[in-house]
Amino acid sequence: MNDSRTAYTDLLKRPIAGFSLPEMRLLQQLLELEKYDYTPDESFLLPKAESTIFDPTDDLPDIDASWYRPLLDSLTTHAREEHTGKHLVLTAAQERVIFLRFNYCRFRVAELLGTLGGRRPSPAKARKVLDWHARAMQLRHQIAEVNVALVMAMAKRTRAEDMEFADMLGEGNMALLRAVDKFDVSRGFKFSTYACRAILKAFGRQGMKQTKYRQHNPVHFDPEMERVNPNDLRDQTERNDGSAEVRTIMVQNLARLSPLEREVIHYRFGLDAPRGSRPLTLEQVGSRIGVTKERVRQVQKAAIAKLKWYIEHDSSEGFDTEPAFA
């Protein structure tokens, strides 16, 4: 694996002709994955699989989740506004079509990556990898959008005194995306059933973690932490030769961050991003994970508090396998 990583890192030093820098960075990330996941289906191996799965007569209706963003922008703990508009519900047949297409695209990416064996891809193969990945991500986004109302519905059903309602929506959105990635449409279940269970389990886990964490180490308002600059933190860790330590803490999740907290830190601080690249703004992160700009700020503050606590206590006290706020 080390040899392949070295070869792939060289992509940024010697870019493939005709590819932009963002495309090269994405390509490098895909090539360095241990495994590109997809849910297999026997239809992927049949002759003319692509033309059959993407049969234009099976085209799906337009998906619109524009109602969800205004709700997020105005949510508070006590303001759980009702959505009175209609949202699209896919039939079982439509659901099968979109999930087969999603996983076929991922299958094609995995197949292409598997043929490289650590070698530098040709321009044609590199373009195919990026194109199939882009199609997969577009379908993933469409599936999430058509089912985003499930997050709101499950959040309203859940009593979690130690979680802000908007925080629940963020955790629910992350659980929804994980459910999209793991769902096997061939089993005959409706995705809504599978997703609702995944969302409720995520709420339960995060509620318990939040309760234990606040009992052990309550987070108070810290003006300095609110003004933290991602570039300053990354520069400081590099100067102190601590970036490797922070990266290890994040990869192994030693500070017991929630999935939402890890996602926010990943996008905001970009510790694995190439030097000189710009981290995402609060608003950009919020758009990606489905929460407001202010919620991203709050999640970032809580995550940094956990990271600081771990760094300050780990060397002197060690860390239990099940810390009090896990």
> Domain containing 23 — which CATH number?
1.20.120
Task: Break the chain down into helix, strand, coil percent, rounded to 5.
Answer: 65, 0, 35
Mean pLDDT on 23-33: 89
Condensed to tens digits (0 to 9), the pLDDT of residues 75-126 reads: 443 444 444 445 678 899 999 999 999 999 999 999 999 999 888 899 999 9
pLDDT 10s digits, 123-152: 999 999 999 999 999 999 999 989 999 998
Choosing from 216, 249, 284, the residue where a domain stops is: 216
| Residue 138 within a domain | yes
- Write down the pLDDT at residue 147: 92
Q: Determine the length of the chain.
A: 326
Token pair for residue 112?
């292409």
93 domain residue, yes or no: yes
b/e 223-236 (16+ beta carbons within 10 angstroms → b): eebeeeebeebbee
pLDDT score at 320: 43
pLDDT tens-digit readout, 217-246: 555 444 444 455 555 555 554 444 455 667
Domain contains 197 = yes
Chain-centroid distance, C-alpha 5: 23
Report the interhelical angle of 230-239 vs 243-252 (nearest 10°).
Answer: 120
What's CA 26's distance to the chain center, in Å? 15
99 and 121 housed in the same domain: yes
Note whether 35 and 139 are same-domain residues.
yes
Q: Are residues 236 and 161 in the same domain?
A: no
Instruction: Answer yes or no: is 52 within a domain.
Output: no
In a shared domain, residues 78 and 134: yes
Q: What's the rounded Cα separation, in Å, for the pair 302 and 271?
A: 18
**Is 249 in the same domain as 182?**
no
Could you list the residue range(s) of the whole structural domain that residue 270 is in? 223-317
Q: Average of pLDDT values for 167-177?
A: 87
Question: Please, are residues 325 and 212 in contact by the beta-carbon 8 Å criterion?
Answer: yes
Asked if residue 128 is part of any domain, the answer here is yes
Give pLDDT, residue 95. 95
Task: Quote the tokens at residue 266.
Answer: 């990943």
Which pTM value belongs to this model? 0.66
51 occurs within a structural domain: no
276 and 146 housed in the same domain: no
Q: Which of 192, 216, 240 is the last residue of a domain?
A: 216
Write out the two tokens for 281: 């703004």
Mind spelling out the 3-state secondary structure of 274-324?
Answer: CCCCCCCCHHHHHHHHCCCHHHHHHHHHHHHHHHHHHHHHHHHHCCCCCCC
Q: Is the pLDDT of residue 321 over 50?
A: no
Tens digits of per-residue pLDDT, 257-294? 888 888 888 888 776 555 556 778 888 888 777 777 88
The pLDDT-based confidence of 313 (bands split at 50, 70, 90) is low
Q: Which residue has the higher pLDDT, 63 or 294?
A: 294
Residues 139 and 19 in one domain: yes
**Statement: residue 174 has pLDDT above 60:** yes
Mean pLDDT of the chain: 77
**Which is higher by pLDDT, 283 or 191?**
191
Identify whether 53 is part of a domain: no
**281 shares a domain with 236:** yes
Higher pLDDT among residues 27 and 169, named by residue:
27
- Shared domain check, 79 and 20: yes
Domains identified in the chain, total number: 2
Domain final residue pick, 188, 216, 244: 216
* 130's tokens: 């990026």
Residues 271 and 124 in one domain: no
Q: 202 and 172 in contact (C-beta within 8 Å)?
A: yes
Assess whether 206 and 261 both reside in one domain. no
Q: Tell me whether residue 19 is in a domain.
A: yes
Task: Report the distance separating Cα 36 and Cα 48, nearest Å.
Answer: 23
- The Cβ of residue 218 has, within 10 Å, a number of other Cβ atoms equal to 8
Band (211; pLDDT cuts 50, 70, 90): low
Q: What's the rounded mean pLDDT across residues 168-183? A: 91
Look at 54 and 160; give whichever has higher pLDDT.
54
CATH number assigned to the domain comprising residue 313 = 1.10.10
pLDDT (0 to 100) of residue 249:
77
Q: Check whether residue 206 and residue 240 sit in a common domain.
A: no
